[in-house]
Structure 1
Amino acid sequence: MVALCSIVRLVLFAAVASAAPRRRHPNFPPKPSIPQVVAPDTPVTDRQGVTLPPLSTVYLFDQLIDHDDSSKGTFKQRFWTSWAEFEPGGPIILMTPGETNAAGFTGYLTNATVNGLIAQATNASIVLIEHRFFGLSNPIDNLEDESLALLTIDQATKDLSYFANNVVLPQPNGDKLSPKEAPWVLIGGSYAGALTSWTLVNQPGVFWAGYASSGVVEAITDYWAYFEPIRQNMPKNCSADIEAVITHIDSVFTFGTPAAKNQIKAMFGMEDVTHLDDVAGALRNILWDWQSLQPYVGPNATFFQSCDALEVKNGVNAPASGWGLQHALSAWGSYFKNTYLPAICGDDNTEDCLGTYNATQSFYTNTTIDDANRSWTWMVCNQVGFFQEGAPLGWPSLVTRLVQPAYDERQCSLMFPKAFPKAPVPQVAATNQKFKGWDVNLFRLFVANGKQDPWREATLSSDFHPRSSTPSQPIFVGNGFHCSDLLTQASIDPTIQTVQNAAVATISNWLLQWPGRKTNAPTLTVPTAPAFVPECGPRGGSGCCDAGFWGGPAGREGG
């Protein structure tokens, strides 16, 4: 990995996308995924100068199909690994990129990511493993409802444990590196960050330490608060005008005449979209682009281009209050119709592109493998929710209130009609009870979150349920976006560099405590975790949001 350093910084970072990839369906919310980082196809050597296999080399592990019934046999689970930094006595870092084909994430084997920084500091090997029912790691060779019954959080946590306890790694003495013989560190971001926490809860004693970046540990059905960090941190003029337009559209779509409704549909290029909730819901897309931002992304990012279309008039920027409804409605409509809509729909007609009511469309019926959106939707409908809707009445909303959980739950029935003859309510209460959600208390779990992360409200740094940092479960919050702390390029923001330095020092010190560890390495100084101040209240400020808008226990259970 040392030999990779200069190449990595010149080539690898260019592979980290600054714009969100096209989603499979523009009215399906984005997944809580880590940024994609692909390693360059260049030679890799270890610390002794020995050439190692390319980082793209795929290895296969015989994973149990069903951890509750071993008689069902095994399937081939893909993994990738690098032992470029490994020294005898070093730890094993295990990471899954979560709900995606893992082939595009080999950069997490290098020092372009925090995994590599920790490996360099602790003489570790890094292993990247593909999640069951994503990519080409499938217990059953289709994504039918019956097959996906084996796609659960419980099975996923047991996959990681079984792998650690049984894998023979393809490095020297790879059969002598089980958790009994070497300390294992589990690292994950976003959903996989939550999976890190959930695995330490559900499979105690296997992993010596964990690192959860932007970990969405609390399952939430009506996750309207996805848009709160965006509202809090985006340009004020843009949020003011978007809120004004959405309020107007909701009013017209609810109370207006057919002619008025059709006028708005035509203004945004969606006159052929049948259902008004699909029309209004499609406008969430420019907000979803926020998830692709990182500190090194410049003003040409899609999100900022969208705001500029609303807020720059004749070369002049709008004041913080925005230009107001009349200009914003016209400007957003023109931009969406002529620029944005063609980008997300391509050659598809707008009903096929944006409509969600036709059960015969391929995004509902296709059950072939390597369809991350289908597999993730299964988990959403069953266990985690995360439906991204309009805010409650009385709270400023950048998103239409025509889209409520019933909108998404209906789609669950269309995609999985055998499993859900009627629209389901995700069992988030059971998920949070089993895996502890916001209330988790673990020993040796490092937690990193970003102030500007749209998924922050489901993490341990939520405005609605903020947790205090402790020595055994430290929580560091930088000024980053989604999983920024995983990317070394994001260290251009000093607050993120502090998080990364703290992660390396904390994990290093915890590894010194492993009973079998033999090293003369000194204890490292860990930066103090700055206090996180929630930005609650409908217009910001310090008033903390609680049961009044979040819904209290009922809200956490899917209300």
Structure 2
Amino acid sequence: MKFSLLNVLFIVFILYGTGSSSSSSARRLLFRGRPVNRYGMLRPPVPDNYVNTLAENWYNQRVDHFNTSDTRTFKQLYFVNHEHYKTGGPVFLMLGGEGASSDYFIRSGAIATYAKKFNALTVELEHRYYGRSVPTVDLSVDNLRYLSSEQALKDAEQFVQFLVADRLALANSKWIVFGGSYSGALAAWFREKYPNAVNGAVASSGPVEARYDFKEYLGVVSQSLGTDCSNQIREAVHQLEAQLKTPEGWQSIDKELKLCTPLNGSDTASVNNLMETLTDPIASAVQYNSSNGNSIGRVCSVMTNTKDGRTPLERYVKLQLQVLHGGSKCLDYDYMKMIDEIRQSSKTSTSVRTGMRQWTYQTCTEFGYYQTTGLPDSPFGHNIPIDYFSKQCTDIFGKQFNADYIQKAVQTTNTYYGGVKPTVTKVVFPNGSTDPWHALSVLKDLNNSTRAVLIHGTSHCVDMYAPSANDPHELTDARQTIEKQLQL
């Protein structure tokens, strides 16, 4: 498929905008399906030092909506774009997700295109605890208790009330809520839990079903890569796993993959982390597929080139070092180093500034979403098990965050929101067929006003970017369906 220049820039910054260079150690590009950057899964095609054009506004939001005796507030960032608004027009509210908000989408994304057609006011509200909307002095475990989707939805409901009271002309306006990825799920849930606050929702690539063992994620990655490419990766990983069984094999892996520290194959957590570090960039190429960036085609052109005289493992090593990790000095896979980074709770720590600590907490307390190699035919081997992820929750946040706790939290989330069958009307669920996250979204119409749109051959949140003349017809048709939904 073809993308506009902005989409290409988006992929470039996703894959290379995290500070890695040929003189530095290579770190993973994804972490639990989330790019390792400050913007999260739905990041705009801008660098991390992007400067917002629209004025930054701040709303005094309550820290805890569900404790009447707690009167504390914090400053929550929001942007307003009046460019296309005419009195009486609708309000398009975009919810921030698991990363910092910018004004890109409400100025330049598909939502801005819809705003121009419908004379809408566009607004974006940053999610609590991400970006600069942090309610507490630090992100200690005790302070993170106010980080939840339920608190975030109440933030949005209170913000809508505030904006209507602040701008009386909006009192009779139609409100539509937008979101992508995690915030796509939030958009659907907002319409479900606060139907009187908004008239409809566009929930792009929204994983509305929480899942502890999300083994289907890598299943979609494998399907999107195709049989030949997946088989070559499977053989390469099989050869690599054979080396993991002996000290001599560990030394071979050190040398072949240029590991930053010598591999101890008896350190199960670091072996798991190594295998995930190798798998993540391939998943990223699928999740953010682009014909002009790291893509399915680029991965498979290396792995299926059986005429180059290399073994599948040798091609896999080439793919990792030369293509996916950009010729970095060494590959960093140390488990405890990763854990120690995410344990840092200061607002200035890297894990907080990039949103990784916050997102890890939400997966441990609400969603799971752990991308394991649990499928029996996984081409990525079987060294990324579910207990590797529950161990991370315990090691980072404390012993109470164990496997049983996470599974109960996931069950609670699905009971509260309804999983893939939320009780909603006037919602559209666009998803890309190559996007691994579509496995947790709504893929069939729920009722006459709630539509599912599966866009074949497209990836994560592609419908949210500005339309291009090069867009495939199914993507164009999907945007037309969304436009019709906005008129309901």
TM over 0.5: yes
- Which residue of structure 2 lines up, in the alignment, with residue 425 of structure 1? 406
Structure 1: tracts of 5 or more residues without a match: 1-8, 40-53, 316-322, 462-466, 511-559
1:36 deviates by 1.1
**Does structure 1 residue 310 correspond to structure 2 residue 303?**
yes
Counterpart contact for 2:157–2:197, Cα < 8 Å: yes
Counterpart contact for 2:343–2:396, Cα < 8 Å: yes
Q: Distance in 1 between matches of 2:237 and 2:6?
A: 39
Moved more, 140-149 or 329-338: 329-338
1:383 deviates by 0.5
Q: Distance in 2 between matches of 1:100 and 1:447?
A: 21
- Which residue of structure 2 lines up, in the alignment, with residue 33 of structure 1? 41
- Which residue of structure 1 lines up, in the alignment, with residue 196 of structure 2? 205
Counterpart contact for 1:289–1:303, Cα < 8 Å: no
Q: Distance in 1 between matches of 2:115 and 2:339?
A: 48
1:128-147 maps to which residues of 2 (within 5 A)? 128-147=124-143
- Which residue of structure 2 lines up, in the alignment, with residue 273 of structure 1? 263
1:126 deviates by 0.3
- Which residue of structure 2 lines up, in the alignment, with residue 219 of structure 1? 210
Match for residue 185 of structure 2 among 194, 202, 212: 194
Counterpart contact for 1:469–1:476, Cα < 8 Å: no
- Which residue of structure 1 lines up, in the alignment, with residue 156 of structure 2? 160
Q: Distance in 1 between matches of 2:304 and 2:447?
A: 43
1:82 deviates by 0.5
Counterpart contact for 1:446–1:506, Cα < 8 Å: yes
Matching residue's letter, 1:56: L
Q: Distance in 2 between matches of 1:81 and 1:11?
A: 25
- Which residue of structure 2 lines up, in the alignment, with residue 450 of structure 1? 432
Matching residue's letter, 1:64: R
User: In the TM superposition, what whole-angstrom CA distance separates every residue of 1:357-399 from its partner, at most 9, and x where no partner exists?
Assistant: 3487333324325341111111011100111110332xx2122
Q: Distance in 2 between matches of 1:482 and 1:422?
A: 29
Structure 2: tracts of 5 or more residues without a match: 20-26, 35-39
1:424 deviates by 4.6
**Does structure 1 residue 407 correspond to structure 2 residue 407?**
no
Instruction: Tell me how large the CA RMSD over aligned residues is.
Output: 3.0
Counterpart contact for 1:478–1:495, Cα < 8 Å: yes
1:231 deviates by 1.6
Match for residue 175 of structure 1 among 167, 171, 190: 167
Counterpart contact for 1:75–1:138, Cα < 8 Å: yes
Indicate how the Cα distance of structure 1 residues 84 and 62 shifts in structure 2: closer, same or farther if over 3 A, else same: same
1:416 deviates by 1.6
Q: Distance in 2 between matches of 1:419 and 1:203?
A: 32
Indicate how the Cα distance of structure 1 residues 445 and 77 shifts in structure 2: closer, same or farther if over 3 A, else same: same
**Does structure 1 residue 385 correspond to structure 2 residue 368?**
yes
Indicate how the Cα distance of structure 1 residues 263 and 17 shifts in structure 2: closer, same or farther if over 3 A, else same: closer
Matching residue's letter, 1:290: A
Match for residue 219 of structure 2 among 210, 224, 228: 228
Counterpart contact for 1:389–1:400, Cα < 8 Å: no
Per the alignment, in what secondary structure is the counterpart of residue 357 of structure 1?
helix
Indicate how the Cα distance of structure 1 residues 422 and 370 shifts in structure 2: closer, same or farther if over 3 A, else same: same
Larger relative contact order, structure 1 or 2 (CA cutoff 8 Å, min sep 6): 2
1:239 deviates by 1.3
Indicate how the Cα distance of structure 1 residues 421 and 448 shifts in structure 2: closer, same or farther if over 3 A, else same: closer
1:181 deviates by 2.5
Higher alpha-carbon Rg: 1
Per the alignment, in what secondary structure is the counterpart of residue 203 of structure 2?
strand
Matching residue's letter, 2:106: L
1:461-500 maps to which residues of 2 (within 5 A)? 461=443, 467-468=444-445, 470-479=447-456, 480-489=458-467, 492-500=471-479
User: In the TM superposition, what whole-angstrom CA distance separates every residue of 1:272-327 from its partner, at most 9, and x where no partner exists?
Assistant: 23332223222212322225535xx3255255433333223557xxxxxxx9xx71
Counterpart contact for 1:219–1:458, Cα < 8 Å: yes
% identical equivalent positions: 20
Q: Distance in 2 between matches of 1:202 and 1:139?
A: 23
Match for residue 243 of structure 1 among 234, 242, 256: 234
Q: Distance in 1 between matches of 2:168 and 2:388?
A: 51
Indicate how the Cα distance of structure 1 residues 19 and 243 shifts in structure 2: closer, same or farther if over 3 A, else same: farther
1:56 deviates by 2.9
1:19 deviates by 5.4
- Which residue of structure 2 lines up, in the alignment, with residue 85 of structure 1? 84
Counterpart contact for 1:412–1:424, Cα < 8 Å: no
Give the paired residue count: 455
Matching residue's letter, 2:71: K
Counterpart contact for 1:100–1:372, Cα < 8 Å: yes
1:213 deviates by 0.5
- Which residue of structure 1 lines up, in the alignment, with residue 422 of structure 2? 440
- Which residue of structure 2 lines up, in the alignment, with residue 286 of structure 1? 281
Indicate how the Cα distance of structure 1 residues 13 and 282 shifts in structure 2: closer, same or farther if over 3 A, else same: closer
Indicate how the Cα distance of structure 1 residues 407 and 137 shifts in structure 2: closer, same or farther if over 3 A, else same: same
Q: Distance in 2 between matches of 1:168 and 1:444?
A: 21
1:152 deviates by 0.7
Q: Distance in 2 between matches of 1:12 and 1:299?
A: 11
Q: Distance in 2 between matches of 1:473 and 1:10?
A: 29
Q: TM-score, normalised by structure 1?
A: 0.74
Matching residue's letter, 1:307: C
**Does structure 1 residue 16 correspond to structure 2 residue 13?**
no
Per the alignment, in what secondary structure is the counterpart of residue 210 of structure 1?
strand
- Which residue of structure 1 lines up, in the alignment, with residue 106 of structure 2? 109
Matching residue's letter, 1:471: N
- Which residue of structure 2 lines up, in the alignment, with residue 63 of structure 1? 61
Matching residue's letter, 1:191: Y
1:493-512 maps to which residues of 2 (within 5 A)? 493-508=472-487, 510=488
Counterpart contact for 2:191–2:199, Cα < 8 Å: no
1:472 deviates by 1.2
Q: Distance in 2 between matches of 1:102 and 1:157?
A: 16
Matching residue's letter, 1:17: I
- Which residue of structure 1 lines up, in the alignment, with residue 37 of structure 2? none
Q: Distance in 2 between matches of 1:376 and 1:389?
A: 17
Moved more, 484-493 or 357-366: 357-366
User: In the TM superposition, what whole-angstrom CA distance separates every residue of 1:15-37 from its partner, at most 9, and x where no partner exists?
Assistant: 53345345695273232722414
1:59 deviates by 0.5
Per the alignment, in what secondary structure is the counterpart of residue 185 of structure 1?
strand
Counterpart contact for 2:229–2:300, Cα < 8 Å: yes
- Which residue of structure 2 lines up, in the alignment, with residue 257 of structure 1? 246
